[in-house]
């Protein structure tokens, strides 16, 4: 491939490779063990609670504990290579132990949003058919309803303060149990994660089990994760991300990041690691870098981050536009911005130019924007350091081809709009058990993103529109069909359509247009109905009542017309 095919390589740093070749490790498990050996007793993960209480695990401890969990899964729980294990928890020390143990065991990790309702959990469990579930105790009361009809034989329960020192762990437990009552009794047979690790250790010692044997049976092309996403049809799909997908995307991103030093970085992880951006870049990438990773269980309210910034010399952080914007509106952040921050990375939603400019004024560090999708592990493009452009998503990563194509899949002329298509080692193997859905987005080796973009003459890309109906709320995907189905189940609703509208706080917000069956229903009633069935960020922020909805000649509701009407009203305003 010639340089003219990839003009963006002119913006690569002097030490950057345009092509990475094969991954540095066969599997994620191999990477974890090798890196752990290199950095040994250095701190790997620190959970920092809002009041500053914290706990830390070294690379060596994470390696040993995840080994023990791998043995538990294979030898005690009876799982085999390729069996799925769901993980449903916020950021904390339990997350890397569980995730790494699953991958070392040759099993498939299924990330589940811990805020999901029981209905949402049930749909994902029904599709993935997990053989085990690792869940935080705060949400374990949902298990009976979520597993009705498709039971999960092995339930492992953990805590937000798991593996913190005894005193803070005890304090948090008492507060959750007696003060805010956020933890309820677990009503299903289960084992606690620390007990599972101890059982795994004892079994490994008694049976002389060599953990390397599990990894040797895993190939780079085996599925490592089922990362769920939706689509224009509203069908939930598990993107099959292989070990090679994840390792190479991790290396691609780290190749783009200049000025990082192995073993010397301190990364702040406020984005949830069950989200693919934080999973690949924060969890895997900065483990590979030998960085100390400061984990924030919940970044809301933003004051929860204050002690982390005060107590640790943060050199890098990732976030979404709303996080960066929100921090700059916090008086404590304005008064004492991080002094050691080299730069920050933004993903998940569009980064507003005004936010990026203000962030650099306040912190002295740039925000570099990346772009990608769940199906691409996730990063496709990234802004090079000191070469950012307002409104740009940067240039393609090494070993990645990106093009704008027309409806026939042919490249459009430079500067013209076209659907962004991508080819590279980070593109998924396909959708779990959905070959027809896979065929819709994979064409002649290219993945069709559904986003409309433009490539500048020198290789920078911009997003100009979205082909899909997906709404992005603070970096989280919301699929209109799911919200519409929920609203349509209310007896007072006759017809409904859902779109995304601009929102200063979250980038986009969900807006529902409803034709009433019952004249007496109110916006508050419908929002309450949605709150009972959907995660909070999916609940419509606005509900507008209409006498009728725009339709095509065959009766299909036209969301695009509603979007056009909203845009016209916004421009008039």
Q: Are 35 and 288 in contact (CB under 8 A)?
A: yes
Quick one: which of 260, 255, 185, 251 has its CA closest to 220?
251
For residues 543 and 350, give the distance between their C-alpha atoms in angstroms, rounded to a whole number.
Answer: 24
Which residues have a Cβ under 8 Å from the Cβ of 195 and sit 6 or more positions away? none
Same domain, 158 and 65: yes
What does the DSSP 8-state code read for residue 217? T
Containing H/E element for 30? helix 28-39
The pLDDT value given to residue 2: 43
Same domain, 155 and 192: yes
Same domain, 71 and 142: yes
Same domain, 424 and 487: no
For residues 328 and 425, give the distance between their C-alpha atoms in angstroms, rounded to a whole number.
Answer: 37
Total of domains in the chain: 3
Distance of CA 453 to the CA centre of its chain: 23
Same domain, 420 and 558: no
Where a domain ends, among 218, 242, 272?
218
Same domain, 63 and 203: yes
Same domain, 148 and 91: yes
Could you tell me the CATH number of the domain that includes residue 147? 3.40.50.980
Q: Domain range holding 70? A: 58-218
Could you tell me the CATH number of the domain that includes residue 439? 2.30.38.10
Same domain, 513 and 564: yes
Same domain, 86 and 194: yes
Could you tell me the CATH number of the domain that includes residue 480? 3.30.300.30
Coil, strand, or helix at residue 546? Answer: coil
In a domain, 319, yes or no: no
In a domain, 429, yes or no: yes
For residues 181 and 420, give the distance between their C-alpha atoms in angstroms, rounded to a whole number.
Answer: 47
Which pLDDT tens digits describe the chain residue by residue (573 residues)? 345 689 999 999 888 999 999 999 999 999 999 999 999 999 999 999 999 999 999 999 999 999 999 999 999 999 999 999 999 999 999 999 999 999 999 999 999 999 899 999 999 999 999 999 999 999 999 999 999 989 999 999 999 999 999 988 888 888 887 777 888 889 999 999 999 999 999 999 988 888 999 999 999 999 999 999 864 345 679 999 999 999 999 999 999 988 899 999 999 999 999 999 999 999 999 999 999 999 999 998 999 999 999 999 999 999 988 789 889 989 999 999 999 999 999 987 778 788 899 999 999 999 999 999 999 999 999 999 889 898 899 999 999 999 999 989 999 998 998 999 999 999 999 999 999 999 999 999 999 999 989 999 999 999 887 777 888 899 888 878 788 879 988 999 988 899 999 998 898 999 999 999 899 999 999 999 999 999 999 999 999 999 998 876 555 688 888 988 888 887 776
Same domain, 512 and 453: no
In a domain, 226, yes or no: no
Kindly report the number of other CB atoms within 10 A of residue 553's CB atom.
5
* Helix, strand, coil % in the chain, rounded to nearest 5: 35, 25, 40
Which residues have a Cβ under 8 Å from the Cβ of 185 and sit 6 or more positions away? 141
In a domain, 40, yes or no: no
Same domain, 535 and 430: no
In a domain, 417, yes or no: yes
pTM: 0.87
The pLDDT value given to residue 566: 87
In a domain, 237, yes or no: no
For residues 498 and 511, give the distance between their C-alpha atoms in angstroms, rounded to a whole number.
Answer: 6
Pairing relation of β-strands 84-88 and 108-111? parallel
For residues 369 and 366, give the distance between their C-alpha atoms in angstroms, rounded to a whole number.
Answer: 10
In a domain, 127, yes or no: yes
Where a domain ends, among 218, 236, 265?
218
Where a domain ends, among 155, 189, 218?
218
Cis peptide before 378 (omega within 30 of 0): yes
Q: Are 134 and 180 in contact (CB under 8 A)?
A: no
For residues 53 and 308, give the distance between their C-alpha atoms in angstroms, rounded to a whole number.
Answer: 10
Q: Render 113-165 in DSSP notation, one character per residue.
A: -TT--HHHHHHHHHHH--SEEEEEGGGGGGHHHHTTTS--SEEEEE-TTTTS-
For residues 85 and 108, give the distance between their C-alpha atoms in angstroms, rounded to a whole number.
Answer: 6
In a domain, 42, yes or no: no
Cα 145 to Cα 109, 139, 308, 530: the distances in Å are 22, 12, 37, 18
Which residues have a Cβ under 8 Å from the Cβ of 123 and sit 6 or more positions away? 236
Same domain, 416 and 500: no
């Amino acid at each position: 491939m010639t340089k003219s095919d990839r003009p963006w390589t002119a913006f690569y740093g002097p030490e950057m490779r345009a092509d990475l070749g094969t991954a540095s490790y066969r599997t994620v498990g191999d990477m974890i063990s090798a890196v752990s050996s290199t950095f040994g007793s250095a701190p790997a993960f620190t959970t920092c609670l809002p009041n500053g209480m914290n706990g830390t695990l070294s690379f060596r401890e994470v390696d040993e504990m995840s080994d023990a969990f791998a043995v538990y899964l294979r030898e005690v729980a009876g799982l085999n290579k390729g069996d799925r294990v769901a993980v449903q928890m916020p950021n904390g020390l339990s997350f890397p132990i569980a995730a790494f143990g699953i991958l070392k065991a040759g099993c498939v990790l299924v990330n589940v949003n811990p805020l999901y309702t029981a209905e949402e959990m049930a749909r994902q469990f029904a599709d993935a058919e997990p053989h085990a579930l690792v869940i935080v105790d705060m949400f374990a009361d949902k298990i009976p309803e979520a597993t009705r009809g498709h039971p999960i034989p092995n339930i492992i329960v953990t805590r937000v303060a798991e593996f913190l020192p005894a005193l803070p762990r005890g304090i948090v437990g008492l507060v959750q149990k007696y003060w805010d009552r956020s933890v309820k009794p677990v009503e299903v047979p289960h084992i606690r994660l620390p007990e599972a690790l101890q059982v795994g250790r004892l079994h490994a010692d008694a049976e002389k089990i060599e953990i390397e044997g599990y990894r040797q049976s895993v190939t780079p092309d085996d599925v490592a994760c089922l990362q769920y996403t939706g689509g224009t049809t509203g069908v939930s799909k598990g993107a099959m991300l292989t070990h090679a997908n994840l390792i190479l995307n991790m290396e691609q991103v780290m190749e783009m990041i200049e000025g990082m030093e192995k073993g010397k970085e301190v990364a702040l992880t406020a984005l949830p690691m069950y989200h693919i951006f934080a999973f690949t870049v924060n969890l895997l990438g900065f483990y590979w870098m030998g960085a100390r990773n400061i984990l924030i269980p919940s970044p809301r309210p933003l004051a929860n981050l204050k002690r982390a910034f005060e107590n640790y010399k943060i050199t890098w952080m990732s976030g979404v536009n709303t996080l960066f914007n929100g921090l700059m509106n916090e008086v404590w952040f304005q008064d004492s911005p991080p002094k050691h921050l080299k730069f920050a990375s933004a993903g998940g939603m569009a980064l507003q130019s005004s936010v990026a400019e203000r962030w650099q004024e306040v912190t002295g560090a740039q925000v570099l924007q990346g772009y990608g999708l769940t199906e691409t592990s996730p990063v496709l493009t990234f802004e090079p350091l000191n070469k950012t452009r307002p409104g740009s998503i940067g240039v393609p990563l090494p070993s990645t081809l990106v093009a704008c194509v027309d409806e026939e899949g042919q490249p459009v002329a430079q500067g013209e709009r076209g659907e962004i298509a991508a080819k590279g080692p980070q593109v998924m193997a396909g959708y779990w058990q959905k070959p027809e859905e896979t065929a819709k987005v994979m064409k002649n080796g290219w993945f069709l993103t559904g986003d409309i973009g433009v490539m500048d003459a020198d290789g920078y890309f911009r997003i100009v529109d979205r082909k899909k109906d997906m709404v992005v709320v603070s970096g989280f995907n919301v699929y209109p069909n799911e919200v519409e189905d929920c609203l349509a189940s209310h007896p007072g609703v006759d017809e409904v359509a859902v779109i995304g509208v601009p929102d200063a706080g979250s980038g986009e917000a969900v807006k529902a247009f409803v034709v009433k069956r019952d004249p007496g229903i109110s916006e508050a009633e419908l929002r309450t109905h949605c709150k009972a069935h959907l995660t909070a960020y999916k609940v419509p922020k606005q509900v507008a009542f209409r006498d009728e909805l725009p339709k095509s000649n065959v009766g299909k509701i036209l969301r695009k017309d509603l979007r056009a009407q909203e845009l016209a009203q916004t421009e008039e305003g």
